[in-house]
C-alpha cells in the first residue's frame, strides 16, 4: 500500500546529493583547508587573542562546510 509520505522515497536522492557534495573538489578543498588551519593553531599554540580569533574563523569555516553537506538535497 502506498502512503502520501514521500520522505522515504526521497531518502536516496538526499544521500546521493550529500555524497556528490562531499566528493566535489570545492567542498573537499575547503574542508581540508579549514582542518589544516585548525591544526596549525594548535601546533603553534594559542598564546594571544589573535590565535583565538584564528581558531574561531577556522572553526566557523568548517561548520559552514558541514552545514552545506547536511543541507545538500540532490
Residue 10 has a pLDDT of 55
Which tops the pLDDT comparison, 10 or 73? 73
Number of domains in the chain: 1
- The CA distance from 50 to 45, in Å, is 11
Residue 63 placed within a domain = yes
Full domain range(s) for residue 55? 17-71
Residue 3 placed within a domain = no
The burial of 34, by beta-carbon neighbours within 10 Å (0-12 exposed, 13-18 middle, 19 or more buried), is given as buried
Residue 60 placed within a domain = yes
Residue 26 placed within a domain = yes
Residue 11 placed within a domain = no
Which tops the pLDDT comparison, 34 or 26? 34
Residue 25 placed within a domain = yes
Average pLDDT over the chain, rounded to whole?
83
Amino acid at each position: 500500500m502506498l502512503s502520501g509520505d514521500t520522505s522515504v522515497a526521497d531518502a536516496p536522492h538526499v544521500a546521493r546529493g550529500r555524497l556528490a557534495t562531499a566528493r566535489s573538489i570545492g567542498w573537499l578543498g575547503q574542508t581540508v583547508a579549514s582542518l589544516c588551519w585548525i591544526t596549525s593553531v594548535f601546533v603553534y599554540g594559542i598564546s594571544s587573542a589573535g590565535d583565538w580569533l584564528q581558531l574561531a574563523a577556522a572553526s566557523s569555516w568548517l561548520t559552514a562546510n558541514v552545514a552545506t553537506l547536511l543541507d545538500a538535497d540532490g
